Amino acid sequence: MAQQKSETVFAPWDDPDQKPIIQFKSVTKRFGSFTAIDNIDLDIFEREFFALLGPSGCGKTTLMRMLAGFETPTEGTILLEGKDIAKVPPNKRAVNMMFQSYALFPHLTVYDNIAFGLKRSDMPKSEIAGRVEEMLTLVKLNKFAARKPHQISGGQRQRVALARSLAKAPKLLLLDEPLGALDKKLRQETQFELMDIQEKTGTTFVIVTHDQEEAMTVASRVAVMDEGKLVQVATPAQIYETPNSVYVADFIGEVKIIEGTATPLGDDRYEIQWAEGQPAIRAACSTPLTAGSRVFYAIRPEKVAITAERPKDAANAVKGRILDIAYLGNISTYHVELPDGQSIKAQTANNRRLARRSFTWEDTVWLSWTDTAGVVLTS
């Protein structure tokens, strides 16, 4: 990814001098009485790989279709390089879209599909062939130029769709669930290919997906959406490590949410009372909380250690009984039941062979984690 390779970290959203390529200004979209997009403000920067993530019906596709020009905002404005694009029809926008169904023209060959947009631009005829070849090389499909879409595999079709939408060198490329139709293994390979192509072409990508792993893998920033609103917009690491709400924490990865009341200990430290007969959880939180306020404590399984004895210096430790073990090859997840009936998951990496695994069903174990392992959330 860009931020790993370049010397300075790629983070234009933190730089007040950077001008965003796309700006949503209080955009609302209603279909009849249904509000699909609810007063959204969002900046997307050049060369970003931006992911819109959310469950179906959260408005992410509507947001994308407004960028492509297939929907117009009911209220607010969308700016592309500072210009309002409300009046620009889809065929005049420097924005191209890769459709979820790929929407390849079944009556045209791979070559003609890729050339389709170029033939309708002001590119001279003599240059079109070269550009198509270039795109075919980019997606490694030179051998298949003469085939029709039904004569190539699903993964190849996906690449044709990508090449076709990139051929006109758009300022912004929209990808609507681009990998949804591929099987898991192919999807993972293609994710890296997409990132590679994004970097090579320097195009700004906006991807819509409901697959959180995909969003985390490819994106420079992720916007988590719910019911037409942006819940959190941040880098994948921020989204995962410091979600701003229970919704985000729960949507991304596995998490245990514990409800309780906070008591300040000073120095941004709190104690959380959460169950009768259980020691209070010690946690750090930078936002000030008043004593007795209701909080949600989110803890992820991989942050929880599992041991036979109580660890001496752990900030938090609870005793429980192993209910279930899910062996996933690289990792194992232990479902541990606490005396009050709640269960917490702990994950360990299987860096030893199976035979030496130390715990089994019904074992009594200790779960422990540090005071910075979990996140305290108020909503």
Partner 1 sequence: MNIRRLFLIAVPYLWLGALFLVPFIIVLKISLSDAAISIPPYTPTLDFSGGWEALKQFFSKLDIENYVFLTEDDLYWKAYASSLKIAIISTLATLVVGFPIAYGMARASDEWRPTLMMLVILPFWTSFLIRVYAWIGILSTEGFLNQFLMWIGVINEPLSIMNTELAVYIGIVYTYLPFMVLPIYSTLEKMDASLLEAAEDLGCTRTSSFWLVTIPLSRPGMIAGCFLVFIPALGEFVIPSLLGGSQTLMIGKVLWEEFFNNRDWPVASSVAVILLLLLVIPIILFQRNEEKNKELEL
Strand runs labelled E in the chain: 22-31, 34-44, 49-53, 75-80, 83-84, 95-98, 172-176, 204-209, 221-226, 229-234, 256-266, 269-273, 281-284, 294-299, 305-307, 316-327, 331-337, 343-349, 364-369, 375-377
One DSSP character per residue, 309-348 reads S--TT-SEEEEEEEEEEEE-SSEEEEEEE-TTS-EEEEEE
Q: Among residues 56 and 91, whose Cβ is nearest to partner 1?
A: 91
Q: How far is the CB of 370 from partner 1 (least distance, A)?
A: 50
**Six token digits for residue 84:** 């309002």
Q: Among residues 82 and 89, whose Cβ is nearest to partner 1?
A: 89
Q: How far is the CB of 69 from partner 1 (least distance, A)?
A: 8
Q: Which residues pair with 234 in a beta bridge?
A: 222
**Six token digits for residue 220:** 């420079």
Q: How far is the CB of 99 from partner 1 (least distance, A)?
A: 5
Instruction: With H, G, I as helix, E, B as strand and everything else as coil, classify residue 277.
Output: coil
Q: How far is the CB of 214 from partner 1 (least distance, A)?
A: 21
d(CA 370, CA 374): 8
**What are the phi and psi torsion angles at 330 (to 5°)?**
-70, -35
Binding site for partner 1 (CB under 8 A): 68-70, 89-92, 95-97, 99-101, 103, 105-107, 116-117, 120-121, 150, 164-165, 168
Q: How far is the CB of 108 from partner 1 (least distance, A)?
A: 8
Q: How far is the CB of 30 from partner 1 (least distance, A)?
A: 19
Q: Among residues 103 and 314, whose Cβ is nearest to partner 1?
A: 103
Q: Among residues 10 and 116, whose Cβ is nearest to partner 1?
A: 116
Instruction: With H, G, I as helix, E, B as strand and everything else as coil, classify residue 172.
Output: strand
Q: Among residues 62 and 96, whose Cβ is nearest to partner 1?
A: 96
Q: Among residues 64 and 285, whose Cβ is nearest to partner 1?
A: 64
* Torsion-angle region of 57 (φ positive above 0: left; ψ -120 to 50: alpha; else: beta): left
